[in-house]
Amino acid sequence: MSLNLERNSKWMEGSGPQADIVISSRIRLARNLKGMPFPNLMNEAQEAKVIQLVGQAIRTPGVFQAVGELKLMPLRELSPVERQILVEKHLISPDLAEGKGEKAVVLRDDEALSIMVNEEDHLRLQCLLPALMLHEAWRLADAADDALESELDYAFDQDKGYLTACPTNVGTGLRASTMLHLPALVLTRQAGEILTALTKVGVAVRGLYGEGTEAQGNIFQVSNQITLGRSEEEIINNLSAVTVRLADQEREARELLRKQSRWQLEDRVGRAYGLLTNARILSSQEALQLLSDVRLGVEMKILRGIDQRLINQLMVRIQPAYLQFAAGREMTPFERDVHRAAMVRELLAG
């Protein structure tokens, strides 16, 4: 199998409930196989065995009927750039991309469903959809999980639930998260306070690429902290409610900006568009910040004629690995900045 890295992932579609603020919804299930050490203690033979078992399981009719065709790709067979693209598309974690030993990724054609094999846990099943579609993502992940469980022996305990390498995931093994674009909360300086308050209701807030990363381009990731003692539905309902509340708060802040600082707002959006369509050198960080302003302009109908899907695609295409892959060669950081500017100019003006 070769990876079709050029295609767009399902989550980039940019349509669905709350799509003006919620970029994507993700469900991740951590699962481990019975009678095997967790990945941090596995030797290569054991790692290969897990990959083989998962590979067998995804080829069974039950799994095919539940979620369609899945393909397994050993990471060893991918170049560093190809692995990095999977990170930039949010399909695998940086840890899996950099990890040594036998690791693999399982992908469905539309990239809505993926499984990391031998990351922190044996299986990390992920479902990634556009906008606020946590329940839909859960249904798909649950179906895939059921089908896989009929082929694989999961490590499960009646009291502790699904057993995971880290006790922070034990129980449901479920991490639900949404990615939100909150520029008005940042501009009106409410973001910090609100996001800190969220930790008190069991919601964690992170940057664009997960744990330990910054909120580049005003994009925040919110997720459940607790995985044990609550049902999947409770966890998902709670996170959905928090996401809707945050989106409402962001909309209020946008209206406030429109009322109180209309010219500054339109100027900011217009300048961002001007820079993106005219710049000759663009770093990925600058591009992300400008794209955030343009996205705000599109969502507030200050800018017309730009598809939200294009902005989601650009968020991925401006990333270093994707840029080099599309160009078909390795580039120095400066070459990338020039190439990035040309690509953004062409796509936005086109």
Partner 1 sequence: MLCERCQQRPASVHVTRIINGEKTELYLCQECARDMQPQLNFSIPKFLAGLFDYEPGPGIKTQTIVEHCRECGMSYEQFQQTGRLGCPACYHYLAGRLEPLIRRIQGSSQHRGKVPRRAGGNLRVRREIEKLRAQLQQLVEQEEFEKAAQVRDRIRELENSLGEQGGGQ
Stretch near partner 1 under the rule CB under 8 A, chosen from 166-174, 249-257, 276-284, 298-306: 166-174
Residue from the set 1, 2, 6, 35 that interacts with partner 1 by CB under 8 A:
35
For residue 205 the two structure tokens come to: 């807030």
- Left, alpha or beta for 82 (phi > 0: left; psi -120 to 50: alpha)? alpha
User: Would you call 228 helix, strand, or coil by DSSP?
Assistant: coil
Least distance from partner 1 to the Cβ atom of residue 65, Å: 16
Q: Is 177 annotated as a binding residue?
A: yes
Contact 241, 182 (CB under 8 A): no
Site for partner 1 contains 161 (CB under 8 A): yes
Residue from the set 68, 167, 192, 274 that interacts with partner 1 by CB under 8 A:
167
Beta-bridge partners for 125? 29, 115
Stretch near partner 1 under the rule CB under 8 A, chosen from 96-104, 126-134, 142-150, 342-350: 142-150
Least distance from partner 1 to the Cβ atom of residue 113, Å: 18
Task: Give the Cβ contact number of residue 277 at 10 Å.
Answer: 15
**Phi and psi dihedrals of 195, rounded to 5?**
-70, -30
d(C-alpha 298, C-alpha 255), whole Å: 14
Residue from the set 76, 160, 271, 329 that interacts with partner 1 by CB under 8 A:
160
Q: Is 322 annotated as a binding residue?
A: no
Residue from the set 229, 305, 328, 350 that interacts with partner 1 by CB under 8 A:
229
Site for partner 1 contains 80 (CB under 8 A): no
Residue from the set 14, 99, 171, 297 that interacts with partner 1 by CB under 8 A:
171
Beta-bridge partners for 30? 124
Site for partner 1 contains 209 (CB under 8 A): no
Q: Which amino acid is at 263?
A: W
For residue 240 the two structure tokens come to: 């959905």
User: Would you call 125 helix, strand, or coil by DSSP?
Assistant: strand
Burial of 15 (0-12, 13-18, 19+ CB in 10 A): exposed
Residues near partner 1, by CB under 8 A:
32, 34-38, 40-41, 120, 142, 145-146, 149-150, 153-163, 165-168, 170-172, 174, 226-232, 235
In the annotated binding site, the residues are 24-28, 90, 124, 175-179, 206-211
In the annotated binding site for ATP, the residues are 24-28, 90, 124, 175-179, 206-211
